Amino acid sequence: MRLQTDTRRAQLLELGMDLFAGRSYDDIAIDDLAAAAGISKGLLYHYFRGKREFYVESIRASSLRLRRLSEPDPKLPPVARLRAAIDAHLNYVQEHGPAYAAIYRSGIAVAPEVNDILEEHRAVIARYFLRNLGVARPRPVLRAALRAWIAMVEGASLDWIAHPSLPRDQLRELMIAGYVAMLAKALELDPKALPQSLLKAAAAAS
């Protein structure tokens, strides 16, 4: 029974973001949401206290899904790993463009706690890449370089949704070039920013 409830809730959350992305938040009535989900309004209230909670939890679920998808796969070699993580991110953006744009552009306007979800999302992505680099506690310049790059990925994704004429591979290559440039500059500015073992491995591979 508990499992069923959780499954149904997860299904509603998956549907939720696409419902909210389609129209402005204020224009959607809780009845519309229930109808689109094929359940009664009463049952929807069983899962969420109201439209706002359904909205915020849909965004949280989207963030968790995107994190899982874009977690670098340690089984891949470093460059392929970065490319695969960015590809997974761009797949998500391509499939859920209006939802992604709605979260980043108007989510905070609907509910300020969306800001916390986005900040946590950025922190998790930064941790993925730090773990990948073998860094437990980043020095300031490495932290800044990663945060700058994450902001670049968000901004470039949002711009791509609005202007999809750019071929997807070109966007990916821009993002990879940004990552490489940020890490290279961080290392130049602070030679202790990356572990020696990583640099030796990179030198040996090249």
Q: How far is the CB of 181 from its own copies (least distance, A)?
A: 3
Closest to its own copies by CB, 32 vs 113, is 113
Q: How far is the CB of 22 from its own copies (least distance, A)?
A: 17
Q: Which stretch binds its own copies (CB under 8 A): 88-96, 127-135, 172-180, 198-206?
A: 172-180
Selected binder of its own copies within 12, 103, 186, 194 (CB under 8 A): 186
Q: How far is the CB of 105 from its own copies (least distance, A)?
A: 6
For position 83 contacting its own copies by CB under 8 A, the verdict is no
Closest to its own copies by CB, 43 vs 177, is 177
Closest to its own copies by CB, 6 vs 159, is 159
Assign 3-class secondary structure to the chain. Answer: CHHHHHHHHHHHHHHHHHHHHHCCHHHCCHHHHHHHHCCCHHHHHHHCCCHHHHHHHHHHHHHHHHHHHHCCCCCCCHHHHHHHHHHHHHHHHHHCHHHHHHHHHHHHHHCCHHHHHHHHHHHHHHHHHHHHHCCCCCCHHHHHHHHHHHHHHHHHHHHHHHCCCCCHHHHHHHHHHHHHHHHHHHHHHCCCCCCHHHHHHHHHHC
| Binders in 112-131 for its own copies, by CB under 8 A | 112, 115
Nearest Cα to Cα of residue 149 among 166, 163, 168, 130: 130
Rounded to 10 deg, the angle between the 140-162 and 78-95 helix axes is: 40
How many residues contact its own copies, by CB under 8 A?
43
Selected binder of its own copies within 48, 96, 154, 161 (CB under 8 A): 154
For position 1 contacting its own copies by CB under 8 A, the verdict is no
Chain residues binding its own copies by CB under 8 A are: 105-106, 108-109, 111-112, 115, 140-141, 143-145, 147-152, 154-156, 158-160, 163, 165-167, 170-171, 173-175, 177-178, 180-182, 184-186, 189-190
